[in-house]
Structure formats: C-alpha cells, structure tokens
C-alpha cells in the first residue's frame, strides 16, 4: 500500500468509519495532503510521512504551525465525534468509573492529542530533602515557538476566537499562528455545582493522567465555599483522582486566571505524603481532623467524611485568611481595596474520607521583593523565577527547558572542563563546589540534589508563615482568629 491507502486503512480500522466509506476517507485524506501519493517508508509513522508528503505536494508550508494543524486534522479522522465520545465514556462509567477514565486517557494518547513522544523528552527525578522526597522535572515537551506566530501575535489587537485555550470552543478548532491546533481534541461533559463543566486531559501532561476540569462559561477563577463543594463533587465522580485549584490572584495564581478551572489526575504528590506537625481543633467541627502540615508552604489540612463540616470549616478558614494581617511577618490582607490573600485548595480521597489541603497564599510585593514577597526570591531565580502554581505547591517542580543545557555547563565547570557557565549560575555553582568533592562519578547525583535543595528553598520563599519560631508563632496567632 501507499501512504494514503495505508492511512485510510488505519482510519477504517479505528472504527470511526466503515469499510464502505473507504473512497470517502481516501478523498478526505487527499484533500489534506494532495493527490500525489508516495510509498510507505520504514522508520517513521505513516501520519508523519503524510505531513512530509503534504509539504512536497505544496498543500502546506513546512512551518511548525502548519505541521501541527495537519497532524491534528489527520488524527481527527480516527477520533469519534464529541457526542460519540461522550456516549462511550459515560456508558463505560456506568460499569466502572476507572474503566471510563482509562479508556479516555488511552484514546487521547493514541490519537496524539496527548503528546506522548514529546512528554518522554522531559527530565524527571526525585531527591530527598528535609520535607521528604521532592520531584523535579525539566519541561522539554512543549514545542518551540513558531517565529511567524510570534510576529503575528505582536500585531493582533482584535478579540479572539476561542477566547482562551480552556474554552469549550477549542473542541475541533483548526488552530492558527500562535494558537494550538485542536482538531482531535475532545471534552467530556459533566455537571459540577449545578452548572455545565468539561473534563479533558492535558496535551503536555506534567504527571500521570494530568487532567483539567473547566467551566463551560468563560469566567474568572474564584476561590470560595462553592469551590470546595465543586472539588468534593468531582472527587465523588472520580475518586481515584486528586483535584485542586490554582489560586485566583496574580503572582500566586496560575497562568489562566480568566477561566475557572481545576487540575487533577492520578498521582501521589510529595505534599500528600507529608505528615501533620501541629494538630489543630476547631470548636463545632468535631467530625473534622485538622492540623498544620510539615511542609515549606503553609498548609492547613482538613480530613473528614462529613462533607458539610468540611465545607463549613474550610469556608471559615478562607474567610479569616482573606481579612487577616500581621505586618510583623509581612502579611497584609488588603491595600487600597485590593485583596492580597487567597488559598490553593487541593483535595484527594482517603478510604472513607476527603483530605483537603488549604495552602495559604499572599501576593504582596515590596521594594525588596518587587516580584512578590512570597514568590521565588532573587537568589533562586537562576533556577526558578516563575509563579508557584498548584503542581509545584504539592512538591513537583516544573523547571524551564533552558536548564537542561545550562546544567550541563555547570557540571563541566565543577569538573574543571571547558565550559560556558551562565554568569547567573556562578555564585550557586561556587557555593556547591566548596561544600563537597565533585567527581565524574558523583556529578549527576550532586546536580540532582542541588536542584532539589533549590526547589525546597523556592517553596520556603513562597511559604507565608516561615518554619522558624517567629513564623510558627505568627501562624498560631492567625489560627486563634478562625
């Protein structure tokens, strides 16, 4: 078989079309890649060879954007319609919820919506710290920026469709310069808090079964009692997953504050394994076990099978925090009617209980810390300067791609080899070099431990009440106000 015939056979075997549809499918493929066919070559996927054929036939240019768009158009041919996908998912869910999510997750990998090959490029490891094993990832999976897309974005002034990358309108969207292709994207519809929501997987997953729950409406994120009710309902629907929300304020929040959404998945994060260092009791909430977690960020954990008490106590804590100030530790609730306090709420299931972590966040800035008082400080910015979002709050670092090559140069420097170490890494590299003997045998271990130690420091920077006597005394004062 030639390329077009071979891919048409793959499409029919997927079940999205019947054998009678063969000529129809072939013509759909020809419309995308051109009429001139070619022989199948060993060593590359037929789909990728078809994209090269489309360039040869002059159907597309060989740009990153054009290739991505065509890739997803081709994979759309093996993907059921949204309605068909939802019917299949919920039929499977009725029999076994985990079978439904496994089916959907596996399908999203098979149809190349989840970029499995790209994700494999990421660097991942874990290292022990005083807070337990922290997880380090260097994110290499997201594709490089298309130069044409950068130029086009600079000229864009009008309203866009879709409004953002979390809107329902992305399902089946062709894509454009500076905006990802989504022809093969599918969203499972569900009800959360009496409203229509969607459930999808992340194309560049940061952990196993990394998923997103999104409001059908394009409206800003907000953290309140309804958030906790929503998290509980999602946990009831998908008990094998954790679910949590980024904070709803700049600096301490995620990058998509304009659209209400949560993240979840099947992964046990370091914070979930952290123990309680200070038990807490709250009058009137006898069915809730509470405590301060032994963690670099300030985390109040609530555990209960009584969802009403869980919602009521979490609301009480969040309300108290949003109006609490203690200038002695740079904690200020509001300035000029601008609120600075919120939480990052994260929930997972115990055997019979719901475990809710409320991580306190403060987005104040100062002359000393213009990027954020409770944000990575200058001494760690050479490794991590971006916002600390939900995933990192839980102990999994998402470090920038630049570090893969930059850390190689640091290792060369440690070993006395010719190198091009970046100036901003020099003080840190010197400090580590003076602390221990570094050899070709242990240099990788030294590097991994050093990055984990920096990440622990990053989380300490983001912690509101520090893990020293002054910070813990200040935390105790806050708890008394709840």
**Average pLDDT score over residue span 88-101:** 97
Q: What is the pLDDT of residues 221-230, one digit of tens each?
A: 999 999 999 9
Q: Is 427 exposed, middle or buried (0-12, 13-18, 19+ CB in 10 A)?
A: exposed
Residues 56 and 132 in one domain: no
Residues 48 and 133 in one domain: no
Domain boundary among 42, 60, 78: 60
375 belongs to a structural domain: yes
Q: What is the pLDDT of residues 376-390, one digit of tens each?
A: 999 999 999 999 999
Q: What is the pLDDT of residue 145?
A: 55
| pTM of the complete model | 0.94
* Contact assessment for residue 142 and residue 204, using Cβ atoms and an 8 Å cutoff: yes
The answer for residues whose C-beta is within 8 angstroms of residue 406's C-beta and 6 or more apart is 421, 422, 425
Residues 138 and 10 in one domain: no
Gyration radius from the chain CA atoms: 25
E strands within 179-235? Answer: 188-192, 195-201, 211-215
* Contact assessment for residue 412 and residue 419, using Cβ atoms and an 8 Å cutoff: yes
Residues 135 and 51 in one domain: no
Cis peptide before 175 (omega within 30 of 0): no
Q: Phi and psi of 25, rounded to 5°?
A: -65, -45
pLDDT reading at 23 higher than 90: yes
Q: What is the mean pLDDT of the chain?
A: 95
Domain boundary among 25, 45, 60: 60
**Average pLDDT score over residue span 377-406:** 96
Residues 135 and 48 in one domain: no
Give CA–CA dist 363/358, Å, rounded: 16
Pick from 240, 219, 234: which is nearest to 188 by CA? 234
- Count of structural domains, the chain: 2
Q: Is 335 exposed, middle or buried (0-12, 13-18, 19+ CB in 10 A)?
A: exposed
Domain that holds residue 326: 125-142+204-482
What percent of the chain has a predicted confidence (pLDDT) above 90?
Answer: 94
Give CA–CA dist 403/422, Å, rounded: 10
Residues 223 and 336 in one domain: yes
- In DSSP terms, 329 is beta-bridged to none
3-state secondary structure (DSSP) of residue 309: helix
360 belongs to a structural domain: yes
């Amino acid at each position: 078989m030639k390329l077009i015939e071979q891919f048409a056979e793959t499409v029919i075997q997927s079940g999205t079309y019947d054998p009678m549809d063969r000529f129809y499918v072939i013509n759909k493929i020809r419309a995308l890649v051109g009429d001139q066919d070619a022989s199948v070559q060993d060593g590359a996927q037929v789909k990728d060879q078809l994209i090269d054929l489309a360039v040869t036939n002059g159907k597309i240019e060989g740009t990153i954007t054009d290739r991505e768009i065509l890739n997803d158009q081709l994979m759309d041919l093996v993907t059921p319609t949204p309605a068909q996908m939802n019917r299949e998912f919920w039929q499977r869910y009725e029999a076994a919820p985990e079978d439904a999510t496994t089916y959907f997750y596996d399908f999203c990998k098979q149809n190349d919506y989840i970029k499995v090959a790209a994700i494999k490029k990421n660097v991942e490891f874990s290292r022990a710290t005083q807070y337990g094993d922290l997880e380090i990832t260097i994110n290499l999976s997201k594709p490089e920026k298309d130069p044409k897309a950068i130029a086009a974005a600079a000229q864009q002034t009008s309203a866009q469709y879709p409004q953002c990358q979390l809107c329902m309108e992305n399902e089946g969207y062709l894509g454009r310069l500076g905006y990802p292709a989504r022809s093969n994207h599918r969203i499972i519809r569900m009800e959360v808090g009496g409203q229509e929501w969607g459930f999808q997987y992340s194309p560049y997953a940061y952990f196993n079964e990394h998923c997103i729950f999104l409001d059908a409406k394009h409206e800003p994120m907000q953290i309140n009692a309804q958030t906790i009710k929503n998290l509980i309902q999602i946990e009831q629907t998908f008990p094998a997953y954790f679910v949590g929300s980024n904070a709803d304020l700049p600096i301490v929040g995620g990058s998509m504050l304009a659209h209400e959404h949560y993240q979840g998945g099947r992964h046990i994060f370091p914070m979930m394994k952290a123990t309680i260092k200070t038990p807490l009791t709250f009058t009137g909430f006898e069915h809730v076990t509470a405590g301060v977690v032994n963690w670099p960020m300030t985390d109040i954990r609530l555990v209960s099978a009584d969802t009403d008490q869980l919602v009521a106590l979490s609301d009480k804590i969040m309300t108290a925090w949003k109006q609490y100030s203690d200038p002695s530790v740079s904690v200020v609730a509001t300035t000029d009617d601008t609120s600075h306090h919120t939480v990052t709420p994260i929930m997972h299931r115990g055997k019979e209980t719901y475990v809710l972590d409320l991580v306190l966040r403060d987005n104040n800035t100062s002359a000393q810390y213009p990027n954020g008082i409770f944000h990575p400080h200058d001494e760690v910015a050479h490794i991590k300067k971006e916002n600390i979002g939900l995933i990192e709050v839980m102990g999994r670092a998402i470090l920038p791609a630049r570090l893969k090559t930059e850390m190689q140069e640091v290792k060369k420097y440690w070993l006395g080899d010719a190198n091009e170490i970046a100036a901003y890494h020099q003080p840190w590299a010197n400090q580590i070099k003076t602390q221990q003997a570094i050899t070709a045998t242990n240099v990788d271990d030294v590097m991994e431990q050093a990055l984990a130690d920096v990440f622990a420091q990053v989380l300490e920077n983001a912690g509101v009440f520090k893990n020293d006597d002054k910070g813990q005394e200040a935390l105790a004062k806050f708890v008394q106000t709840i």
